[in-house]
């Protein structure tokens, strides 16, 4: 597993050339306090024979003084280099270590577990390809595990390894591992993590770290080191969108003007047509210059100097891209923000926003909500404090060229700097416009509009129809039977002389909501529009049978607020996902499994089971007639029909 090679003795130049061509994997270790992050890294270095003899001897001595292993070798001391860290047995600052094997080169960021050092953890994670989230087998999934998992997802890290550590203290029991695996999977289903692995380990004993453990024969997966060497990261880089933030204009003499910088994403070739922001002037690439000579092609993340065929006024902070593939260029955007300062965020206060190589002034115009990292629910909040995360609207004093962070980490990230202290106070990830502009729950109507009142009173409608108006929300996973039961219930009510109509989610998307996709925000907006339609139907005296997946409990509560508590009933169709898969005739679940359908509740997105539904229909056990009977009885019990 070590980087040792016979070429060192026979052909050092070829060895160095091979080493230079190795793929680099950046990863971090994170998790709660005392989960064993530093111990794991020390074990990786020790077992791959990457610790120098003199360093190892010093660590053996320090293990007697500072170690927590009874005088035996303590791997954690290899990364816990600060005096305060060794005294407390914790990691405070981010520690970086470098090593290589025959297959890859690695940069490891050992990040702190304490909540007060969350900002250090976010800093260490910002450049990583993979995250190892350690979970103490004795404690299971705790608050800080969830916090770090959310930040990992927020920062766009696609590959996550959940290492259940200290299995030796739990007798290497399979049930302990499986329980933690299930708890974590339930939580992470709400996050955007596409590649997730679970490995039971003992970092202190070296079980399943570099070599497969014989003490856990029930685990049929690979060791941690095998996964680190073989996880596929080549496709993670954005090579489609060419973005080149200009860092420096190189003008050594009259005959040369080059624009220096690091290619943030994409590929550029000699002769390519380019456009420059903010001027929107166009030219072609004349040369791609490096210290080792000119290139015919450059790609991310190479540092190069571009020369152009035409003389264009370009300066530091400008963005070079392709004419047919341009970033957004605006003063306004929305972003998720991790606040890193002891001084709380002040909406409206002017800060410096550093984005790629450009720094502009601007302010947080609105804090839309704060995220509770334990439940992932949104909370109204006036400000953000240290280590809190929220969604903000920004208004800058001049436009910048940016991409959504999910599409392009280099041009979708920024930092916020305090103008007086010059301290970095926050990090931000720009959201996609298609998902950030979808919700309008809190939009205020124009003051020039006035609500009109019908000349027909609610009591008159009640007398005419012989019923009280209400909205019955039938919610459940795709395939649970919502639409089937809604139309059967409509037929039953109609035959009984009642006035009812079905409001179906798919029908809404074929008309009023045809402009919406299926992100969480767009699902929320579809329900907002549908709630307004249902309210109008109720105002007309009708019973509205609304068939929607409606996966988020918080959004269902907002629907209740729009329609009115006295008019709103929630009926949960509780068919499990396995049954819903079998009923799926449109292939939606298969498409979600393959990634063709994203944000699909029950597969790639969470479904929040209603906390207190008015009725539960086990549609995997009851017939349609039984379900309709139960809803009819509910309507009678609530006095909505007689």
What SS3 class is residue 252? strand
Cβ(339)–Cβ(374) below 8 Å:
no
Lowest mean pLDDT among 323-327, 331-335, 359-363, 620-624: 323-327
pLDDT mean over 443-464 = 77
- Enter the DSSP assignment of 126: T
Domain ranges of the chain: 7-235, 243-321, 328-433, 464-637
Instruction: For residue range 114-163, list pLDDT tens digits in order.
Output: 555 566 677 777 778 899 999 999 999 988 888 888 888 888 888 999 99
Lowest mean pLDDT among 79-88, 126-135, 560-569, 602-611: 79-88
Instruction: For residue range 383-392, list pLDDT tens digits in order.
Output: 999 888 999 9
The residues near 638 (Cβ < 8 Å, ≥ 6 apart) are: 470, 569, 614
Band of residue 599 on the pLDDT scale cut at 50, 70, 90: confident
Instruction: For residue range 249-308, list pLDDT tens digits in order.
Output: 999 888 899 999 999 999 999 999 999 999 999 999 999 999 989 999 999 889 999 999
Q: Which helix (H) or strand (E) holds 627?
A: helix 624-637
d(CA 39, CA 400): 43
CA nearest to 21, candidates 130, 104, 127, 101:
104
How many residues comprise the chain?
642
Q: How many CB atoms lie within 10 A of CB 434?
A: 13
**Domain at 328-433: CATH code:** 2.40.30.10
Cβ(140)–Cβ(179) below 8 Å:
yes
How much is the mean pLDDT over the chain? 85
pLDDT for the residue 191:
81
How would CATH label the architecture of 464-637?
3-Layer(aba) Sandwich (3.40)
Q: What secondary structure does DSSP assign to 368-399, as a single string? A: EEEE-TTT--EE--S---TT-EEEEEEEEEEE
Band of residue 544 on the pLDDT scale cut at 50, 70, 90: very high
Distances (CA, A) of 587 to 577, 580, 584, 607: 14, 11, 6, 19
Cβ(224)–Cβ(178) below 8 Å:
no
Q: How many CB atoms lie within 10 A of CB 506?
A: 10
Instruction: For residue range 515-530, list pLDDT tens digits in order.
Output: 777 777 788 889 999 9
pLDDT for the residue 375:
74
pLDDT for the residue 487:
96
d(CA 635, CA 613): 14
Strand 543-548 relative to strand 470-475: parallel, antiparallel, unpaired?
parallel
pLDDT mean over 164-181 = 94
pTM of the model: 0.61
Sign of the alpha-carbon torsion through 286, 291, 293, 296: negative
pLDDT for the residue 290:
93
Would the CATH topology of 7-235 be identical to that of 328-433? no
pLDDT mean over 214-222 = 93
Cβ(306)–Cβ(318) below 8 Å:
no
- CATH of the structural domain 7-235, one choice from 2.40.50.100, 3.30.200.20, 3.30.450.90, 3.40.50.300: 3.40.50.300
Instruction: Classify domain 243-321 at the CATH topology level.
Output: Elongation Factor Tu (Ef-tu); domain 3 (2.40.30)
pLDDT for the residue 86:
40
């Amino acid at each position: 597993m070590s980087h040792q090679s016979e070429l060192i003795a026979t052909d050092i130049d070829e060895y160095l050339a091979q080493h230079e061509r190795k793929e680099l994997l950046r990863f971090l270790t994170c998790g709660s306090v005392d989960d064993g992050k530093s111990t794991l890294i020390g074990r990786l270095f020790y077992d791959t024979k990457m610790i120098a003899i003199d360093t190892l001897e010093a660590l053996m001595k320090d293990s007697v003084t500072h170690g927590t292993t009874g005088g035996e070798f303590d791997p954690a001391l290899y990364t816990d280099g600060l005096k305060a860290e060794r005294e407390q047995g914790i990691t405070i600052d981010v520690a970086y270590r470098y090593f290589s094997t025959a297959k890859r080169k690695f940069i490891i960021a050992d990040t702190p577990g304490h909540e007060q050092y969350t900002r250090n953890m976010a800093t260490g994670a910002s450049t990583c390809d993979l995250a190892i989230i350690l979970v103490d087998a004795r404690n299971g999934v705790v608050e800080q595990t969830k916090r770090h998992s959310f930040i990992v997802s927020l920062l766009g890290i696609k590959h996550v390894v959940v290492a259940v550590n200290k299995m030796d203290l739990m007798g290497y029991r399979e049930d302990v591992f499986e329980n933690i695996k299930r708890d974590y999977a339930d939580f992470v289903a709400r996050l955007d993590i596409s590649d997730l692995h679970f490995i039971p380990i003992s970092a202190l004993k070296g079980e399943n770290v570099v070599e497969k453990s014989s003490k856990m024969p029930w685990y049929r997966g690979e060791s941690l080191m095998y996964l680190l060497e073989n996880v596929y990261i080549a496709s993670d880089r954005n090579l489609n969108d060419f973005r080149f933030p200009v860092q420096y204009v190189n003008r050594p003499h009259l005959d040369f003007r080059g624009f220096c910088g690091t290619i943030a994403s994409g590929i550029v070739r000699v002769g390519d047509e380019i456009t420059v922001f903010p001027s929107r002037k166009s030219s072609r690439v004349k040369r791609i210059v490096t210290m080792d000579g000119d290139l015919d092609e450059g790609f991310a993340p190479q540092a190069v100097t571009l020369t152009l065929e035409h003389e264009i006024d370009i300066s530091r902070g400008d963005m070079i891209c392709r004419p047919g593939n341009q970033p957004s260029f605006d003063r306004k955007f929305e972003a998720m923000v991790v606040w890193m300062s002891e001084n709380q965020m002040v909406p409206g206060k002017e800060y410096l926003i550093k984005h790629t190589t450009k720094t502009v002034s601007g302010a947080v115009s609105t804090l839309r909500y704060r995220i509770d990292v334990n439940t992932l629910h949104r909370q109204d909040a006036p400000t953000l404090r240290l280590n809190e995360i929220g969604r903000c609207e920004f208004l800058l004093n001049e436009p910048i060229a940016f991409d959504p962070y999910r599409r392009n980490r280099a041009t979708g990230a920024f930092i916020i700097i305090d103008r007086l202290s010059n301290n970095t106070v926050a990090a931000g990830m720009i959201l996609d416009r298609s998902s950030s502009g979808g919700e309008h729950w809190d939009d205020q109507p124009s003051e020039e509009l006035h609500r009109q009142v019908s000349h027909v009173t609610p009591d008159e409608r009640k007398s005419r129809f012989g019923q009280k108006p209400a909205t019955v929300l039938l919610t459940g996973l795709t395939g649970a039977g919502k639409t089937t039961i809604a139309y059967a219930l409509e037929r039953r009510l109609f035959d009984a002389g009642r006035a009812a109509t079905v409001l179906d989610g798919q029908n809404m998307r074929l008309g009023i909501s045809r402009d919406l996709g299926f992100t969480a925000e767009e699902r929320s907006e579809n329900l907002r529009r549908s709630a307004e339609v249902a309210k109008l139907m109720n105002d007309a005296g009708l019973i509205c049978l609304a068939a929607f997946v409606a996966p988020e409990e918080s959004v269902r509560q907002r629907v209740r607020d729009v329609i009115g508590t006295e008019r709103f009933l929630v009926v949960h169709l509780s068919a499990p996902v396995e049954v819903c898969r079998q009923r799926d005739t449109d292939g939606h679940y298969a498409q979600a499994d393959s990634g063709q359908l994203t944000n699909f509740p029950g597969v790639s997105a969470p479904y929040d089971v209603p906390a207190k539904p008015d009725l539960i229909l086990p549609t995997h056990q009851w017939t349609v007639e039984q379900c309709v009977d139960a809803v009819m009885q509910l309507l009678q019990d609530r006095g909505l029909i007689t």
